[in-house]
Amino acid sequence: MKSLACNLSAVTILFTSGHGAADVIYSGFQNLTIPATYAGTYIDVDGGLAPSTSTFAGWDFNPFMGGVYLSNNASFQPARDGTGGMDTALNFGTATTISAAGLNFAATGSGGSMDHLGTQFTAGGGVADEYLGFELGANYGWMRVVFTNNSAGAKVLDWAYDTSGSSGAIATGNILSDGSTVTLDSTFGSFTLGSAITGGSNSVVKTGAGTVTLAGSNDYSGTTAVNVGTLLVNNTSGSGTGSGAVTVTGGILGGTGSIAGAVTLNGGTLAPGASIESLTTGELTMNAGTTFAYEMNSTVGAYAADLLVVTGGVTLNGTVQLGLTDVLGGAATRFADGTILTLINYASSLSGGFFYGETPTLLNEGDTFTAGLNTWKINYSAASGGLNALGLSSGSFINLTAIPEPGSWLALGCLVSSGMMLRSRRQQPQNT
């Protein structure tokens, strides 16, 4: 579960509170190079389409010739120093409010005409201060850009807009709003959001096939939904998903941090860690059709495995698949017999049913099954943890114990049986 991540801890979105519920649509880190040719880079800000180097339906914005000019569709209007479609686009710093009040937007739209950027976006300027504010239909947002007079470093880094039809603002620090939904879309690539999502009853939705990593400690109270792709909660303190409930309907939820709220999976996968590590969650419910993905490392002398710590109870409903993977792959070795690994440490109760293995086959308390090069015995309410749960002494543990292979038990049984028969024969009295 390694991810390609670009840390955006210095630049995030700040939207003003006081307006109605809305979505904050964030593109994710793009880092699109602007060619020093007429071709440019066509971007559809709100259409969910990958940026293109040729004109395509739905395009909004096209910087070209190394960022010296820009072309925009009628629905996408940069903030300008005048109301004409050819007036110079403005360069904004952080904490600038983007709205109709106090800013100029072309009255009828440029319809694709060329706009000279002038010296508003200077070569070699600070990346964190290079923003293009825009109006998209009735909505407002920002695009983080580095525009130069040649191809060196001319880029579109990312963008965001607020669907409230009110106003937004550019800022470093936190993503703030009240009653809004922050959509983290990794369709165009994986990224890390290093700063915090805060503010009242905000919610977060993860979309797009890539990976989004939450590295900050977030305090929003709304829900978090994982619909597509991977959401890694890697915060080092506090809760990476605020205090609200987390729901997974598709994709993967994982990470190395902490989730304070209850976690419910109605599909998709729960995969603690990012490679071999641990994840902490609130109350956990895994419903039919979900998978608990667990990674191990069978290197002799360096046994390690994932660990899920649940601060409440665990409920398993229906067919919940247990997937075990040895990260060594073809180089995997056998775990020594008697090795104990903990899948889950839970604070209160276990209810519902049990995990399913391959086929699928229900794994009841004390059942044995084969995975990798080992035969394992599963226990759902052990009083102590395994090698990967050292230091945890409270609650109950779902453990796997490596036991001798069935063939070894059979061979041992045959030897014991043969020995008993031989002894019996030797002890029989001789007939006289």
Cα torsion 131, 132, 133, 134: sign: negative
Domain-located, residue 329:
no
- How many Cβ atoms from other residues are within 10 Å of residue 430's Cβ? 4
267: left (phi over 0), alpha (psi -120 to 50) or beta: left
> What value does the mean pLDDT take over residues 271-282?
94
* Alpha carbon distance 212, 235 (integer Å): 13
Domain-located, residue 74:
yes
Whether 364 shows a pLDDT value over 60: the answer reads yes
pLDDT of residue 43: 92
For 37, the token pair is: 């040719």
CB 19 within 8 A of CB 166: yes
Identify the residue with better confidence: 181 or 235.
235
Residue-wise pLDDT for 77-92, tens only, equals 998 888 888 788 888 8
pLDDT of residue 417: 39
Element (H, E) at 145: strand 139-146
Contacts of 122 (CB under 8 A, 6+ apart): 91
> What value does the mean pLDDT take over residues 261-286?
96
Total domains in the chain come to 1
Domain-located, residue 142:
yes
CB 123 within 8 A of CB 149: yes
Contacts of 411 (CB under 8 A, 6+ apart): none
Domain-located, residue 5:
no
Domain-located, residue 93:
yes
- Confidence class for position 394, pLDDT limits 50, 70, 90: very high
Domain-located, residue 87:
yes
- Closest to 367 measured CA to CA, from 59, 25, 376: 376
pLDDT of residue 17: 28
Query: Tell me, what DSSP letter sits at residue 414?
Result: H
Identify the residue with better confidence: 48 or 160.
160
Enclosing domain of residue 94: 23-163
Domain-located, residue 135:
yes
| Angle made by CA atoms 16, 121, 77, in degrees to the nearest 5 | 55
Domain-located, residue 39:
yes
Whether 144 shows a pLDDT value over 80: the answer reads yes
What pTM was computed for the model? 0.75
